[in-house]
Amino acid sequence: MILIENKVEHAADLSGLDRDVVTLGWEDRRKSRQRLTTRNGLELALALPTGSILEDGDIIYVDGQRYVMVEAAREDALCIYPERPEDYALAAYEIGNRHLPLSIARDSLSTLLEPLIETHLKKQGIRCERRLIPFEPIRKGHSHG
């Protein structure tokens, strides 16, 4: 098992090396300590600095034969397309009230698929759709402590 203590910050030329991938959902990309197996069966032990977050495309290992890249898993998400400011507020309130992760884009919001939120928003006339996407929520959160 290969121990990974830091991401590869400045990978040299990777041409000629075999590409291997580890596919992780949004929660697993935030775990700094875990065991992983790449697509090609390479076993890795992550021991990254506390607070490390892996992102789609990060390279976490390079040797003379291969490199290992992080791939964001496609996850069931609810993509919401509000048209008015009050629709944005309502959608964000419903997501936050259930303590679900939230992703904010220029013209949409998304969260992990939650059928009750989907039903409620559609009843309010807010367009939303289910999609299988790499999900990346905002990183700042709030605790009730």
> Tokens standing for 52?
């490390």
The pLDDT averaged over each successive group of 10 residues in the chain (145 residues) is: 90 87 96 96 96 94 93 97 96 95 95 96 96 89 51
Residue position matching structure tokens 């884009």: 105
Three state DSSP letters for 115-138: HHHHHHHHHCCCEEEEEEEECCCC
> Tokens standing for 49?
């600095």
Read off φ and ψ for residue 30, nearest 5 degrees. -105, 0
d(CA 53, CA 79): 23
From the list 7, 65, 71, 9, the residue with the least C-alpha distance to 39 is: 71
Q: Which burial class, exposed, middle or buried, applies to 65 when counting CB atoms under 10 A from its CB (0-12, 13-18, 19+)? A: exposed
pLDDT of residue 56: 94
d(CA 102, CA 93): 11
Between vectors from CA 47 to CA 22 and to CA 39, what angle results, nearest 5°?
15
pLDDT of residue 139: 73
